[in-house]
Structure 1
Amino acid sequence: MDSPHGASVTAENFGLKGPRGWAFRGLGVDAGPGSLVAIEGPSGSGRTCLLLALTGRMRPTEGHAKVGGLRLPRKMAAVRRIAALGPVPGVSELDPAFTVAEHLRERALLQRRFDGSLRALLRPRAERVATAQERIDAALDAAGLDPATLPKAGRTSVRDLERLEALRLSIALALIGSPRLLAVDDTDLKLSDAERAEAWQLLRSIADNGTTVLAVCSQAPEDAITLRTDSAGSTDDAVGADGTTAETAETAETATGETTTEEGTADAFAETGRA
């Protein structure tokens, strides 16, 4: 029997510290392949740092985690190969001057160049183009984005997209590489209630089709496995969709008197890098 496509995500006592404090600390989760995992908390509470740490883009300070059976931080490069970033400000943002079609062509080209086998690279050009278009079409369908409905179809500039359309495009770009884990930052930022519901429905459908989803948000849906990074509280729990507690999250003052701060989050970005 084939193993599930999605990557399991587990963590215990997971933390990341910058020079002036903890970006996050004491977090734990146990999510199987194809799970929808919401990272919930206010801005500045370490949400994005946690997202990047679990996708192999930031080095944790304490605890351990496994993504698809790959241990962090030892296998960060391997985790990056199976985890794709959707929109993450300052890391994987859309270029506002590019059109939708240009973004899609560029991503398909990069995917073929860096992830394709030698045999695939030596195939006739027409066959390579057809394969790339199939990937693009499948990703757009999974992301629920039809370029034909946009004001100028594929020639529509990113700057002219609505917020939800831009989110769908970013997700489509990430899905072109058929990742086992999809990571999305600021999922519900600047969305109306109806648009927020659409966004979660989209991510839920991607998870239901087998790809594990990590999504940063200010308010998680009830059916998601939720990791809370609320620096304003004393403690919070990582709660599964069935209401079970996965692990206690120490996000306020710790036993040693150290605190999780917005400055700590910023310092963690600067010190660990995002490559």
Structure 2
Amino acid sequence: MIKARGLARQFRTRGQTVEAVQGVDIDVAPGELVGFLGPNGAGKSTTLRMLTTLLRPTAGEARVAGCDLLTDPAGVRKRIGYVAQGHGSGDDQKVIEEATLQARFYGLPIGKARHRVNELFESLELTEFANRTAGALSGGQKRRLDIAMGVLHIPRLLFLDEPSAGLDPQSRSNLWGHIRALHKSGTTIFLTTHYLDEADALCDRIMVIDHGKIVAEGTPDELKSQVAGDLVQFDTDTPSVAAEITAKVDDARELHVEGNTVRFRVPRGDTELPGLLRALDQADVALLSVQVHRPTLDDVFLTMTGRSLREAANA
């Protein structure tokens, strides 16, 4: 659905050339939900704008939804949906009129346009707000309206740019359900987000961009496995004995003792821990607490770039 090779974009600012995106390769298969992560200034938004025909690449080539990005941008626009960060409808317009007008822009006859709007409003739980003005909707309702307007023409590929930014937890959870439903229906989705839990929960595959280059790619579990492994931590009154036994665990590394706390990493804490607990019990080592921490996507970014994605995004 997306095949980009060597996609790059330069900007001239204050007499200097800025390499915003430096020759990225992107492949997205039909039906995938791919997350695109990166801090502000990493090239994430520039890449998204190029793929959606809003910004012409300085170099490289791409086919999006079956059309050449450079020679047939109109063909790309006909076949994609795009939900930007900002609200996409006029605040003074009635919700149903705005959505119907959007469908007409894509060439749907009036009867089919109204049918499609009603169908989407029902699935996105917008029917009761149809005759309100868009400005009177809550943040979550506005985002659902934006998604409805982005898929009225049944696009093969949907771009979502930080769809849940600024929403409360309940609205975010509700929106996630609707995104999952779109994905389940067969829509290919390319999603940018600063919420790591969102990428972890929704995405089949994740790409991480930093300084204009793709620095990591894979499923959430594959990316987490590239970190040093699960962190296992336990407290005991005999930490030196516990550490000696722990050192014998296959693949255990980064073993540290601090006070009564023993910490180490293993590829899979859930499978290594039962055997270790039996060994500690046989040595009469009493444990006060045990914790296993799986790596997070922020750990992945920290490992790949030396900085936290969340901190970089906030900055």
Does 1:176 find its partner at 2:152? Answer: yes
Deviation larger for 190-199 or 29-38: 190-199
1:130 is aligned to 2:106: no
Report the counterpart of residue 88 of structure 2 in structure 1. 93
Q: Is the 8 A contact 1:87 1:171 kept in 2?
A: no
Give a deviation string over 1:196-234, Cα, whole Å, max 9, x none: 333233222212211111222113522522232344x99
The equivalent residue for 1:272 is none
Aligned to 1:60: 57
Following TM superposition, by how much is the alpha carbon of 1:81 offset from its aligned partner in structure 2, in angstroms? Answer: 1.4
Given that residues 40 and 227 in structure 1 are in contact (C-alpha distance below 8 angstroms), is that contact kept between their aligned partners in structure 2? yes
Read off the aligned partner of 1:218 and give its amino acid letter: H
- Report the Cα distance in structure 2 between the residues aligned to 1:79 and 1:235, rounded to whole angstroms: 23
- CA distance in structure 2 between the partners assigned to 1:177 and 1:133 by the alignment: 12
Match of 1:34 in 2: 31
Question: Which stretches in structure 2 are left out of the alignment for 5+ residues?
Answer: 224-303, 306-315
1:163 maps to: 139
Residue-by-residue CA offset, 1:162-221 (whole Å, 9 max, x unaligned): 111111101101211111111122223112334333323322221221111122211352
Matched with 1:12 is: 5
- Measured at CA, do residues 61 and 129 of structure 1 come closer, stay the same or move farther in structure 2, by a change above 3 Å? closer
Q: Distance between the aligned counterparts of 1:234 and 1:46, measured in 2? A: 8
Are the counterparts in 2 of residues 24 and 229 from structure 1 also a CA contact under 8 Å? no
Match of 1:48 in 2: 45
Identical amino acids, percent of aligned pairs:
24
CA contact (8 A) 1:29 1:238 kept: no
Tell me how far apart the structure 2 counterparts of residues 217 and 43 of structure 1 sit (CA, whole Å). Answer: 11
Distance, in Å, in 2 between the alignment partners of 1:39 and 1:204 is 17
Kindly indicate whether residue 195 of structure 2 is the aligned counterpart of residue 219 of structure 1.
yes
- CA change 1:131–1:69 in 2 (3 A) is closer
How far apart, in 2, do the equivalents of 1:213 and 1:235 lie? Answer: 19
Q: Which residue of 1 aligns with 2:270?
A: none
Cα deviation for residue 129 of structure 1 reads 4.0
- The number of residue pairs the alignment matches comes to 219
- In structure 2, the residue matched to 1:146 is 126
TM-superposed deviation, 1:82: 0.5
CA contact (8 A) 2:143 2:164 kept: no
More strand by share: 2
Matched with 2:209 is 229
Q: Equivalent residue for 2:102?
A: 107
Distance of 1:61 and 1:147 partners within structure 2: 44
Correspondences of 1:193-272 after superposition (within 5 Å): 193-220=169-196, 221-222=199-200, 223-224=202-203, 225-231=205-211, 236-240=215-219, 243=222
Distance in 2 (CA, whole Å) between partners of 1:13 and 1:226 is 19
Cα pair 2:160 2:190 within 8 Å, conserved? yes
Q: Distance in 2 between the 1:236 and 1:69 partners?
A: 26
CA RMSD of aligned residues (A): 2.9
AA aligned to 2:89 is L
Aligned to 1:186: 162
Aligned to 1:123: none
Tell me the CA shift for residue 36 of structure 1. 1.0
Unpaired runs of 5+ in structure 1?
A: 1-7, 117-127, 245-250, 253-275
Instruction: Note closer, same or farther for the CA distance 1:58–1:206 as it changes in structure 2 (3 Å cut).
Output: same
Is the CA contact 1:36–1:203 (under 8 Å) kept in the aligned structure 2?
Answer: no
Q: Structure 1 residues 168 and 241 mapped into 2: Cα distance closer, same or farther (>3 Å)?
A: same
- Aligned equivalents of 2:81, 2:213: Cα separation in 1: 32
Aligned equivalents of 1:19 and 1:110: distance in 2?
Answer: 35
Is the contact between residue 87 and residue 167 of structure 1 (CA under 8 Å) also seen in structure 2?
no
TM-score normalised to the size of structure 2? 0.61
d(CA) in 1 for partners of 2:105 and 2:52? Answer: 19
